[in-house]
């Protein structure tokens, strides 16, 4: 549960950055925690801080354009933030989907490693959205797999679309946010997993996602 982070670090708080028209659609007591709503129209400094942190974390082909931040992040939904004063400790954004109850994960970042803030901000934000299913794109060797798999087994849907900035190293996944227990897993080399997915096999990646060395994925034992 995300509460432990805020108990250990009491200066932290959870916030949502979006537009005023989205406020009534959000669950602003996720896990019983109060949320500070930051209106992007009246709090432009927070928009600038988030944009700077995101671009520092994701550069090159994955850099976030300002118009995408405005049109596709802030207008249709809200960004979940963990703040410490005026510093952004972690942030998560998922886009609404045509499938009811499903969101598409877009950006997860943490500026302070080792706190568990990545998991906490994702858990709180998904609860704020009232999401039941999350789809997304991530990289085969991303450390974020250790966060993503904490929410459930990842059903690998296939490779990322070719237009993705890191398509060769990425895949599309789906995870049900129902709290169902995960099956046991076994380590499989990443190259083998990629070949199996390319051949059309459906695989599930289970917690902790990556092995400690980061050279194999934990696949569900059938």
Q: What is the pLDDT of residues 184-197, one digit of tens each?
A: 999 999 999 999 99
Q: What is the pLDDT of residue 147?
A: 93
Of 64-78, 104-118, 160-174, the one with minimum mean pLDDT is: 160-174
Q: Has domain 1-131 been given CATH number 1.10.287?
A: no
Number of H helices, E strands in the chain: 6, 11
Q: What is the pLDDT of residue 159?
A: 82
Distances (CA, A) of 153 to 1, 49, 50, 178: 17, 33, 30, 11
**192 token code pair:** 């083998």
Instruction: Give kind and range of the element (H or E) at residue 12.
Output: strand 12-18
116's CB contacts (< 8 A; 6+ apart) are 4, 5
> DSSP 3-state assignment of 139?
strand
Question: pLDDT-based confidence at 221, cuts 50/70/90?
Answer: confident
Is residue 96 predicted with pLDDT exceeding 70?
Answer: yes
Q: What is the pLDDT of residue 113?
A: 86
Question: pLDDT-based confidence at 62, cuts 50/70/90?
Answer: confident
Which candidate, 101, 129, 111, 108, places its Cα nearest to that of 35?
Answer: 129
Cis upstream peptide for 208 (omega within 30°): yes
SS3 per residue for 72-106: HHHCCCEEEEEEECCEEEEEEEEEECCCCCEEEEE
Is residue 77 predicted with pLDDT exceeding 90?
Answer: yes
Domain with CATH 3.40.630 in the chain: 1-131
Question: pLDDT-based confidence at 39, cuts 50/70/90?
Answer: very high
With contact defined as beta carbons under 8 Å apart, do 21 and 95 qualify?
A: no
Q: What is the pLDDT of residue 2?
A: 84
Q: What is the pLDDT of residue 61?
A: 86
Mean pLDDT across the stretch 100-106? Answer: 96
Burial class (CB in 10 A: 0-12, 13-18, 19+), 72: middle
- Give the Cβ contact number of residue 4 at 10 Å: 11
Mean pLDDT across the stretch 106-122? Answer: 94
185's CB contacts (< 8 A; 6+ apart) are 205, 206, 207, 218, 219, 220, 221
For residues 197 and 25, give the distance between their C-alpha atoms in angstroms, rounded to a whole number: 37
As a whole number, the mean pLDDT across the chain is 94
Share of the chain above pLDDT 90, in %: 85
Instruction: Kindly report the backbone phi and psi dihedral angles of residue 65, in degrees, each rounded to the nearest multiple of 5, phi listed first.
Output: -70, 150
What is the 8-class DSSP label of residue 142? -
Quickly tell me which residue has 């960004």 as its tokens.
79
> DSSP 3-state assignment of 133?
strand
Polymer length of the chain: 222
Q: What is the pLDDT of residue 163?
A: 67
- pLDDT tens per residue across span 149-186: 999 999 999 887 776 776 678 899 999 999 999 999 99
Q: What is the pLDDT of residue 161?
A: 72
């Amino acid at each position: 549960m995300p509460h432990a982070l805020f108990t250990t670090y009491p200066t932290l708080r959870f916030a949502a950055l979006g537009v005023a028209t989205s406020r009534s659609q959000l669950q602003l007591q996720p896990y019983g925690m109060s949320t500070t709503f930051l209106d992007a129209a009246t709090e432009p400094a927070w928009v600038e801080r988030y944009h700077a942190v995101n671009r520092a974390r994701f550069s090159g082909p994955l850099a976030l354009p300002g118009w995408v931040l405005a049109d596709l992040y802030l207008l249709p939904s809200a960004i979940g933030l963990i703040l410490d004063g005026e510093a952004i400790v972690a942030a998560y954004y998922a886009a609404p989907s045509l499938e009811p109850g499903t969101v598409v994960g877009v950006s997860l970042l943490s500026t302070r490693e080792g706190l568990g803030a990545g998991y906490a901000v994702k858990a709180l934000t998904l609860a704020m959205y009232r999401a039941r299913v999350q789809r997304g794109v991530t990289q085969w060797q991303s450390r974020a797999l250790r966060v993503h798999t904490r929410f459930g087994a990842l059903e690998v849907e296939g490779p990322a679309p070719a237009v993705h900035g890191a398509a060769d190293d990425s895949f599309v996944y789906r995870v049900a946010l129902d709290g169902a227990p995960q099956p046991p897993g076994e380590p499989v080399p990443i190259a083998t997993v990629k070949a199996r997915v390319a051949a059309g096999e459906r695989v599930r990646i289970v917690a902790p996602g990556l092995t400690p060395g980061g050279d194999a994925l934990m696949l569900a034992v059938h």
